């Protein structure tokens, strides 16, 4: 059964090897990566955390619980959320969906929050 997976953008071998619909979920392009070096089908910057929230979080682990709540509120308020959910649901009927992110921390980042939100909504 197809599923939602997370892969760090800087793990280029894993991104290239992964089979499925690849979505970059960062608002900004991953620093130091050429666009030609990152295979993806969709850059979903519209549903990424706002610049204000991203700057406030600044990848500080102690802020992650509040970041998660604020980001979930942004997703809920975003008019594109329903369409994104429908599209990903459609993709998952035939293939994995790969969420690509640039953060160093693999447990505390926006892709983890987005994946959990998608899975909860798709249950």
Low-confidence ranges of the chain (pLDDT < 70): none
In this structure, are residues 109 and 26 in contact, taking their beta carbons and an 8 Å threshold? no
> What global pTM score does this model have?
0.95
Give residue 46's pLDDT. Answer: 95
Give residue 55's pLDDT. Answer: 96
Give residue 97's pLDDT. Answer: 99
What count of other Cβ atoms lies within 10 Å of the Cβ of residue 122? Answer: 11
CA 44/CA 24 separation, integer angstroms: 6
Total domain count, the chain: 1
Q: Which residue has the tokens 């700057």?
A: 55
State the residue range of the domain holding 90: 4-122
CA triplet 6, 11, 14: central angle to 5 degrees? Answer: 70
């Amino acid at each position: 059964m197809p599923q939602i997976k997370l892969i760090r953008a800087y793990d280029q071998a894993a991104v290239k090897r992964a089979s499925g619909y690849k979505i970059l979920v960062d608002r900004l392009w991953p620093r130091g990566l050429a666009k030609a070096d990152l295979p993806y089908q969709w850059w979903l910057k519209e549903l990424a955390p706002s610049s204000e929230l991203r700057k406030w979080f600044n990848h500080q682990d102690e802020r992650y619980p509040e970041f998660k709540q604020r980001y979930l509120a942004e997703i809920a308020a975003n008019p594109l959320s329903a369409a994104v959910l429908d599209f990903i649901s459609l993709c998952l009927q035939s293939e994995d969906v790969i969420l690509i992110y640039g953060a160093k921390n693999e447990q505390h980042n926006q892709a983890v929050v987005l994946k959990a939100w998608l899975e909860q909504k798709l249950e």
